């Protein structure tokens, strides 16, 4: 059995507060028995939902939008710098596998200054086990993030389980899913800004298709937390305390059954005991990387 936890909370948009919040929430999950703790897509420094709910973003050359972007970039994670080390220390301090979505900033070398939507996996000793950069930012996201590659498109060994993950709409890229299936996941981390109905469908389908546990993680955010210099669309943010990200975190079993959640509009940490023997048991009827793969008919290769 492996005790897993999915954190759902309101995001803190400045990096220092976000790291403190991450440490506190991780500590709380570990006190309740968690050995694997998961945070949502771009938990640090928060998903840029202003791309979708503020009308100023259409004016991409606006000084106000540029200032918001600059602040967002300044509060992003330097994986190889102090903020990355802070995440490593959180994992090591609590002896826990930590999977956290971040906006990553390249600080040196080719691509310096580029931002990526990344999913980081730290082992209980603080080692960075995997860094997956989102392959395809979607729609307005392309204003903010660069395109990732397949270097981190894999599951990795952690104590007790092989853990992999995808970010948001990568769950609708069939070949991304197959790459993870073939890397042998026991547990799949599905991170989203907010896990609305179709994201629930994708997460649950992934569990059934991959015959693995799926931890679907979403954030919370109110309209009042949007950048003060941008103007919300009144139909998207009718009043300041309206939810613009509603959470929806859930945990699914390898048969697609829901084990916890989904929970909306509330800050909490979902917990579940994952019986990893069920991964093998459910693979009897479907194993898309094994006895159901038909390699004599299909050839699949990932370019890393």
DSSP notation for 188-255: EEEE-SS--HHHHHHHHHHHHHHTSEEEEE--EEEGGGS-TTS-B-TTT-SSTTSEEEEEEEEEE-TT
For residue 294, tell me if it sits in a domain: no
- What pLDDT shows up at residue 209? 98
Supply 181's token pair: 């299936």
- For residue 213, give its domain range: 2-282
Catalytic residue numbers read 41, 134, 168
Which residues does 280 contact at the CB level (< 8 Å), separation at least 6? Answer: none
| Contact in structure between 149 and 176 (CB atoms under 8 Å) | no
Other Cβ atoms less than 10 A from the Cβ of 99: the count is: 28
> What backbone phi and psi angles, to 5 degrees, belong to 72?
-60, -45
From the first residue on, what is the mean pLDDT of each consecutive set of 10 residues in the chain (304 residues)?
97 92 98 98 96 77 88 96 98 98 92 94 98 95 95 97 98 97 97 97 98 98 94 92 97 97 97 96 92 92 92
What's 92's domain CATH number?
Answer: 3.60.110.10
* Residue spans of beta strands (DSSP E) within the chain: 2-8, 36-38, 97-105, 115-122, 128-133, 156-158, 161-167, 187-191, 213-217, 220-222, 243-252, 258-264, 268-274
Instruction: Give the whole-angstrom CA distance, residue 98 versus residue 91.
Output: 6
For residue 287, tell me if it sits in a domain: no
- What pLDDT shows up at residue 208? 98
For residue 288, tell me if it sits in a domain: no
Instruction: Give the whole-angstrom CA distance, residue 145 versus residue 115.
Output: 5
For residue 297, tell me if it sits in a domain: no
- What pLDDT shows up at residue 241? 95
Instruction: Give the whole-angstrom CA distance, residue 28 versus residue 164.
Output: 23
- What pLDDT shows up at residue 110? 83
Question: Looking at the DSSP assignment, which residues form a beta bridge with residue 272?
Answer: 4
- C-alpha distance from residue 302 to each of 83, 146, 179 (Å): 31, 20, 7
For residue 302, tell me if it sits in a domain: no
If one counts the domains in the chain, the total is: 1
Helix (H, G, I), strand (E, B) or coil at 117: strand
For residue 211, tell me if it sits in a domain: yes
Could you tell me how far CA 267 lies from the centroid of its own chain?
Answer: 17
Please tell me what DSSP assigns to residue 168: G
Instruction: Give the whole-angstrom CA distance, residue 125 versus residue 36.
Output: 13
- What pLDDT shows up at residue 65? 87
For residue 271, tell me if it sits in a domain: yes
Question: Looking at the DSSP assignment, which residues form a beta bridge with residue 122?
Answer: 98, 128
Strands, sheet with 128-133, edge to edge from the N-terminal-most edge strand: 128-133, 115-122, 97-105, 36-38, 2-8, 268-274
For residue 291, tell me if it sits in a domain: no
């Amino acid at each position: 059995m492996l005790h897993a936890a999915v954190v759902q909370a309101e995001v803190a948009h400045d990096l220092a507060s976000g790291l403190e919040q991450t440490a506190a929430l991780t500590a709380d999950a570990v006190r309740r028995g968690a050995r694997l703790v998961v945070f949502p897509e771009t938990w640090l420094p928060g998903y840029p939902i202003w791309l979708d709910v503020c009308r100023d973003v259409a004016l991409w050359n606006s000084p106000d939008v540029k200032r918001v972007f600059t602040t967002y970039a300044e509060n992003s994670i330097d994986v190889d710098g102090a903020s990355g080390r802070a995440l490593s220390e959180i994992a090591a301090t609590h002896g826990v596998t930590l999977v956290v979505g971040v906006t990553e900033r390249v600080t040196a070398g080719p691509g310096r200054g580029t931002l990526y939507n990344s999913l980081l996996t730290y082992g209980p000793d603080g080692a960075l086990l995997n860094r997956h950069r989102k392959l395809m930012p979607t729609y307005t996201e392309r204003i903010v993030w660069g395109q990732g590659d397949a270097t981190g498109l894999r599951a990795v060994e952690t104590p007790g389980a092989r853990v992999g993950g995808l970010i948001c709409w990568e769950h609708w890229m069939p070949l991304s899913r197959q790459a993870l299936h073939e890397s042998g996941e026991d547990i799949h981390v599905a991170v989203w800004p907010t896990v609305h109905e179709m994201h629930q469908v994708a997460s649950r389908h992934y569990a059934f298709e991959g015959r693995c546990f799926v931890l679907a993680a979403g954030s919370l955010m109110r309209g009042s937390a949007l950048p003060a210099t941008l103007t919300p669309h009144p139909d998207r943010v009718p009043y300041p305390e309206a939810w613009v990200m509603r959470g929806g975190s859930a945990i699914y079993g390898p048969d697609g059954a829901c084990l916890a959640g989904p929970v909306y509009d509330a800050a909490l940490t979902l917990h579940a005991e994952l019986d990893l023997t069920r991964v093998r048991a459910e693979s009897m009827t479907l194993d898309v990387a094994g006895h159901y793969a038909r390699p004599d008919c299909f050839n699949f290769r990932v370019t890393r």
